[in-house]
Structure 1
Amino acid sequence: MTTLIKLEILRTLRNRRYLLFTIAYPALLYVFFIHAYDTSKVAGSLPVKSYFMVSMATFGAVGAVLTGNAQRISLERKSGWTRQLRLTALPGRAYTVGKIAATAVTTLPAILVVFAVGASQGVELGAAQWIGLVAALWLGSFVFAALGVALGYAATPDAVQPIVMITYMLMALLGGTWFPVSDSLEKFARFNPVFLYNRLATFTRPGHSLDLVAVAGLAAFLAVFVAAAAALYRRDTRQA
């Protein structure tokens, strides 16, 4: 499994589309948003620059693991690579965990680049807050890595890309990525993992601590997505 994780990470980092759409694109969007909005106002109880720094970091992180896992697994199924792996000593759970772990590691550049741009634009946080925020967003990305594995086995190779993009954009739209979720929508947004993911940044507000409700919700989503990925993997094995 360790070898598989290393190979997956190297393959991802060599992908030019990953570098462009997962790292550069969210950073460019961040610069666009902070110049399009009135930076003297607040968004979601945070300064505009801080709010969009977090939302664009989560946008890049979710994109890295969700689209990367789903599309790659779907292509591996189509090419017969997963069938070949089943003939090796690699157990199915190790393959699934390896996929989740490998893609989650690749979210770090997406988060760090947006944070570096945010710092250059005047976002000021304490050292502990910066470190805590990176850790929170990185750990939270495992939820979407598991969802990506599940979608990769649920959808056919021809349908996986539109399914992933629709899922990705709807979760972002209703999860506070592009604009703060209003009070009337928040009760529904709490069932959206992207909304909970963005809520991990609330401890950076003065007088606030880590949102444990969001942590619990993400943990529940992780358990559901991992279980779904395992079940779909077993189904794919029986059909192979």
Structure 2
Amino acid sequence: MNMLRKQCIAEMKRVLRNKYFVFWSLVMPIAFYYLFTNVVNTNVADKGAWNAHYLMSMTTFSVMGSSMMTLGIRLVQERAQGWSVFIRITPLPDHIYLAAQMIGQSVIHLLSITVIFLAGAIINSIDLSLFEWVMSGLWILIGAFPFLALGTLIGLMRKVETAAGVSNVLYMLLAISGGMWMPIEVMPDILKNIGQWLPSYHFGSGAWALVQGELPTWKNVLMLIAYLVIFMLLFKYIRRKQEAV
């Protein structure tokens, strides 16, 4: 347990020193939030509801990207630099090392959620109950696990450039098709039908429901669990193939 704790702390320090994490996971979502609530879409019927809705969109957008890109690309870089091979000759078990990566990233997510929530409260004076703040934050924190699993899948790629390209494309496609940039209801029917099967939509949908005084649906929960299982099984299968080679 002490080994896991120390490795988690080390991983968190590494993420916080990454200037790209600060930009993509904190600065950019907050900038988008300000733009789409105070410059664009300023004439919506219920401004308060829209501000709360879009705050959840940008928070889920941030956490999803951090899970896929920060974690995934870091894993590829470490393998390319021989770090993962070095870890195997140390007393640190491989499963502890991977668990520390994911736990450390989750703690970073908690920081991201807190910072973006505070920014939203300051920028637009969002009026949510303590229950809504806490539950939406917990939903985003726990709901990010399928994307952490997807990040470990990206981390199995051979080249950093490939991982960066694939993660960027997936990130944007999931965000746009999942309704994080604009409500899925205003999209063409074909995109709407596709979006409702994506993990990003169900991730955002649970948070949107909570700030509307509702609870995430069972479909939201089951879809995220299903994607988590699928990504974990794929990771295990591909890693076994790579180790066999």
Instruction: Report the TM-score, using the length of structure 2 for normalisation.
Output: 0.89
The equivalent residue for 1:38 is 42
> Which runs of structure 2 are paired with 1:160-199 in the superposition (5 Å)?
160-182=163-185, 184=189, 185-199=191-205
The equivalent residue for 1:138 is 141
Decide whether aligned partners of structure 1 residues 225 and 38 sit closer, same or farther in structure 2, where only a CA change above 3 A counts.
same
> Which runs of structure 2 are paired with 1:56-75 in the superposition (5 Å)?
56-75=58-77
CA contact (8 A) 1:38 1:48 kept: no
Match of 1:215 among 200, 203, 221: 221
SS at match of 1:41: coil
- Structural RMSD (CA): 2.0
State the distance in 2 between where 1:216 and 1:186 align.
Answer: 19
In the TM superposition, residue 15 of structure 1 has moved relative to its aligned partner by 1.8
In the TM superposition, residue 232 of structure 1 has moved relative to its aligned partner by 2.9
The equivalent residue for 1:235 is 241
* 1:24 lines up with 2:33 in the alignment: no
State the distance in 2 between where 1:101 and 1:170 align.
Answer: 26
CA contact (8 A) 1:203 1:211 kept: no
CA contact (8 A) 2:135 2:210 kept: no
- Percent of pairs with identical residues: 24
State the distance in 2 between where 1:126 and 1:165 align.
Answer: 35
CA contact (8 A) 2:49 2:212 kept: no
Question: What amino acid does structure 2 have at the position aligned with 1:157?
Answer: V
> Which runs of structure 2 are paired with 1:3-18 in the superposition (5 Å)?
3-18=6-21
Instruction: Report the TM-score, using the length of structure 1 for normalisation.
Output: 0.90
State the distance in 2 between where 1:107 and 1:172 align.
Answer: 17
In the TM superposition, residue 177 of structure 1 has moved relative to its aligned partner by 0.9
State the distance in 2 between where 1:172 and 1:148 align.
Answer: 15
In the TM superposition, residue 92 of structure 1 has moved relative to its aligned partner by 3.2
The equivalent residue for 1:77 is 79
State the distance in 2 between where 1:125 and 1:73 align.
Answer: 37
Q: Tell me, which stretches of 5 or more residues in structure 2 are unaligned?
A: none
SS at match of 2:144: helix
CA contact (8 A) 2:11 2:104 kept: yes
Decide whether aligned partners of structure 1 residues 6 and 230 sit closer, same or farther in structure 2, where only a CA change above 3 A counts.
farther
Give the total of aligned pairs.
Answer: 236
Match of 1:126 among 124, 129, 149: 129
Q: Tell me, which stretches of 5 or more residues in structure 1 are unaligned?
A: none
